Amino acid sequence: MAAAMLLPALVDLAEDNEDWRVFALSSFLIGAVGALVGAASRGEPMRFNARLGFLLVTTVWVVTVLAGALPLYFSSAGLSIAGAVFESTSGLTTTGASVISSLDLLPPGLLLWRSLLNWIGGIGIVVMAIMILPQLRIGGLALFQMEGSDKADKVLPRARQLAAGLAAAYGALTVLCAATYAALGMSVFDAVNHAMATISTGGFSTHDASLGYFHDDRILVAATLFMILGALPFVIYVRAFTGSRSQRRRDPQIAVFLVLCLVLSLALAVSRRLIEGVPFGEALITSSFGLVSLLSTTGFVSDDYTRWSEAAVGLFFIALFLGGCAGSTAGGIKANRLVVLYKLVDASFRRLVRPHAVIRLRYGESEIQPQAVQAVTIFFFLYFGVLLIGTVVLGVLGLDLLTAFSGTLTSLSNVGPGFGPVIGPAGDFSSLTDAQLWVLTAIMLLGRLEIVTVVILFLPSIWMR
């Protein structure tokens, strides 16, 4: 984080903007604290256990959020403490919701820092989802760990090699995306910023109108493609780059996610053609961009889709829940949990017809263990529980039902835009009170950390020996 802060400092210094001092000082402070902690923790390593793992994951994310908020608070953006922490949380959790309403007037250093928060958070999410959470028996890929095979989703023999492979794939996709945007007419600055926000499925833009600012269907098509790539499991890219022939089994969640993107996009395009009379080609481009943006939990917008037909709004509402694939930068419920849920429902119905049959649940070539089914069930219970509680709390704090519900949902799924005139695709979160922002900040972290990681820390029994 300290090193990353030097980049916007250099950009602002080149543009003769005073915020360079804020980023330089923040970099020094954060770097000094990191160096002191590193020096103090040298020596005999601590014995790792699950309880320490849960505490470590949550603490690292909270501390990183606070570090990211430091330059935002002291910058010329004029944010409150709640606003700065909200913006930092939104960036690092790749949610993409913003309390800044005049992006086109911001200095370049602040715009770059917001994009860097997206990018840093994206690679952090991938590493956490693939290498850390499965070891704690939670998260999207814990399904494979439940089988008792610790190498089920490792395509390289050592964790350090896997992390390097993930970083290489993440960086290569970002460079390719930036080059594509630049070739399609974006400035280099806009291309780099939007590439970081696209591959991380973060959704921060350098313009208030998001990608609608460019009025170019080619950019929307390119963004749609790269948002899909960002929402796929990054392990498949490591396999592709290393040429590994091991673990070539098919991952059902990839097909489910791609089918959802295709079917919902076609359904929306047809509805726009029939109901609104939009030419099918234009309808297909804008529909696929809008739906993939929400399904991948990126949150880019090109138009106010709440002004489209009621059928369109309904499809976008469904997309807010679903999310991308486990092991990607996307949030939401995630496709692999939908696969497990479908298998569970299908098996339950078959048992009604054949009560004595022995029915084994399978995820691709793997057998789904009872612990994995239990983990998915608990996640759904907690997900909708947080959605209900968050809506009620925000309603008590003064938000109308639509804003409270969609704000909770978009924060929990780490999507970005909600519904309604306040936080919809044409609005932002700048009009919300500090209390409302704190609630949504907590919900964003809950959604990003798979809920269980945080909730388990508040159970007294966990801390009793």
Please check whether residue 91 is in contact with residue 204, taking contact to mean a CB–CB distance below 8 angstroms.
yes
The 3-state DSSP class for residue 414 equals coil
pLDDT for the residue 154: 47
The rounded distance, in Å, linking the Cα atoms of 265 and 371 is 35
Nearest Cα neighbor of 441 from 54, 74, 95, 73 is 95
**Lowest-pLDDT range of 122-131, 232-241, 243-252:** 243-252
| Geometric angle at alpha carbon 199, from 194 and 202, rounded to 5° | 70
Three-state SS at 137: coil
The per-residue pLDDT for range 71-82, each reduced to its tens digit, is 999 998 889 999
Angle of CA points 276, 278, 282, to nearest 5°: 145
For residues 93 and 95, give the distance between their C-alpha atoms in angstroms, rounded to a whole number: 5
Angle between helices 310-322 and 280-295 (to 10 degrees): 30
Residue 155 pLDDT: 46
Q: Kindly list the distances between the CA atom of residue 332 and the CA atoms of 29, 35, 383, in Å, as whole numbers in the listed order.
A: 34, 35, 10
| Predicted TM-score (pTM) of this structure | 0.90
- Per residue in 268-317, pLDDT (tens digit) is 999 989 888 889 999 999 999 999 999 999 999 988 888 888 888 899 99
Is the confidence at residue 146, as pLDDT, over 50? no
Task: Report the pLDDT value the prediction gives residue 371, as an integer from 0 to 100.
Answer: 80
SS3 362: strand
Helices 434-448, 81-92: axis angle to 10 degrees equals 20
* Residue 350 banded pLDDT, cuts 50, 70, 90: confident
Chain centre to alpha carbon of residue 199: 10
Residue 454: enclosing H or E segment and its boundaries? Answer: helix 452-455
194's tokens: 């939007």
What pLDDT digit, counting tens, does each position of 253-275 carry?
Answer: 899 999 999 999 999 999 989 88
Kindly report the CA angle at 113 between 107 and 115, in degrees rounded to 5?
110
